[in-house]
Amino acid sequence: MRAVVYERYGGPDVLHIEEVEKPLPRDDEVLVRIYAVAVTRADCATRQANRNSGRGFELVSRAIFGLRRPRQPILGGDFSGVVEAVGPAVKEFAAGDEVFGSTGIRFGAYADFISRPESSRITRKPKSLSHVEAAGITDGGLYALSPLRAGNVKNGDSVLVYGASGAIGTAGVQLAKYFGAHVTAVTSTKNLELVKSLGADHVIDYTKEDFTKNGQSYDVIFDAVGKHSFVRSRDSLKPGGRFLPTDGFDNFLRVFTTRFQDKKVIFPAGAVTKREVVFLKELIEAGRYRVVIDRTYALEDVVEAHRYVDTEQKVGNVILTVAG
């Protein structure tokens, strides 16, 4: 089968297509023919060993994914496709089922096929969505859902979403609204109408206004793009406020240093499970959540797709089409 592989860390040019062995499903596994897969911030960061997040994160990344070279040579974690075959112990799925899911940091979805345990983060695709749209559900959805839940976002909270037009940001706006929050979305001029359409109660154009200097304060600040810090945001938090980062070694360390302070940094703790994927599916089917797609690329154009995501200007999700 075809797969996009990389044998060394670096820029988009380290990616190339090779023929690799097609996986065989184990007794409890589902073999999925992949139709579409998201190109995510996590893919691009892992490809270059998270060096843009600082030396601390780079060392952690290399310890997890391979010190000198990647142990898992196939990136891609958020996919949609059709079940090709199932192991004899599988009961939930059958050949022909349309599914979507996430492999998380196990990656492996930049390929024609992937085999995943039935109990993993995979479920049936919403019938109303194409495979391209379904491949965009879990990256932003799970990366927003986990911190918002960890931060105990609830009805009546004031929540600021910084970077509200990316995959995680568009999900964060919608999920915070679902939890009953009053949402302020920070984005660029060209994306103001988009985030309003997703339910934002108030918008801030960061090219014209710095939210840390406007005198407003919030119960929760969710940095959906990993470009802000607790130090810069602290004065914009209300007493008891929570800062929810998605990147930054300094932010991670402040989880511990702010633990007994009034204003806290909170990173999600605990594993993301199949239940969260099903939860997102149910929101979509109820009309409470929609996936935003920016661009699609053919699998053969993966280098160009990574170059675009590296610009940090994508709106919603970027998707590779694999089959179909």
Integer Cα distance of 173 and 18 in angstroms: 39
Q: 228 or 145, which is more confident?
A: 145
In a domain, 272, yes or no: no
Residues 74 and 49 in one domain: yes
Helix axes 138-150, 167-178, angle to 10 degrees: 50
Model pLDDT for residues 236-253, shown as the tens digit of each residue:
999 999 999 987 667 777
**152 and 236, same domain (yes or no):** yes
259 and 303 housed in the same domain: no
Q: Is the pLDDT of residue 324 over 80?
A: no
- Angle at 49 (CA atoms; ends 48, 53), nearest 5 degrees: 95
Q: Is residue 148 part of a domain?
A: yes
Residue 51 vs residues 6, 20, 28, 246: alpha-carbon distances, Å: 17, 28, 37, 15
pLDDT at 57 over 90: no
Say yes or no: 116 and 243 in one domain: no
Does residue 108 share a domain with residue 9?
Answer: yes
Instruction: Please check whether residues 126 and 242 belong to one and the same domain.
Output: no
Question: Which of helix, strand or coil describes residue 26?
Answer: coil
Residue 168: how many CB atoms within 10 A of its CB? 27
The answer to whether residue 185 is domain-embedded is yes
Same domain flag for 130 and 147: no
Q: How far apart are CA 179 and CA 284, in angstroms?
A: 15
- 207 found inside a domain: yes
The tens digit of pLDDT for each residue in 277-308 reads: 999 999 999 999 999 999 999 999 999 999 99
CATH number, position 300: 3.90.180.10
pTM for the whole thing? 0.94
**For the chain, where are the alpha helices, taking DSSP H only?**
41-47, 55-65, 131-135, 138-150, 167-178, 192-197, 230-233, 249-257, 274-285, 302-310
- Residue 282 included in any domain: no
State how many domains the chain has: 2
162 in any annotated domain: yes
Residue 286 lies in a domain: no
Mean of all residue pLDDT scores within the chain? 95
CATH number, domain containing residue 256 = 3.40.50.720
HEC string of 113-144 equals EEEEECCCCEEECCCCCCHHHHHCCHHHHHHH
Mean pLDDT value of segment 303-320: 97
Q: What is the pLDDT of residue 249?
A: 63
pLDDT in tens, 96-147: 999 999 999 999 999 999 999 999 999 999 999 999 999 999 999 999 999 9
The answer on 202 and 90 residing in a single domain is no
206 & 168 share domain:
yes
Residue 212 confidence (pLDDT): 95
Give the model's confidence band at 275: pLDDT under 50 very low, under 70 low, under 90 confident, else very high.
very high
| 251 in the same domain as 193 | yes
Mean pLDDT along residues 150-173: 98
* Residue 131 and residue 176 share a domain: no
Q: Is the pLDDT of residue 209 over 70?
A: yes
Please check whether residues 88 and 193 belong to one and the same domain: no
Q: Which domain holds residue 237?
A: 142-265
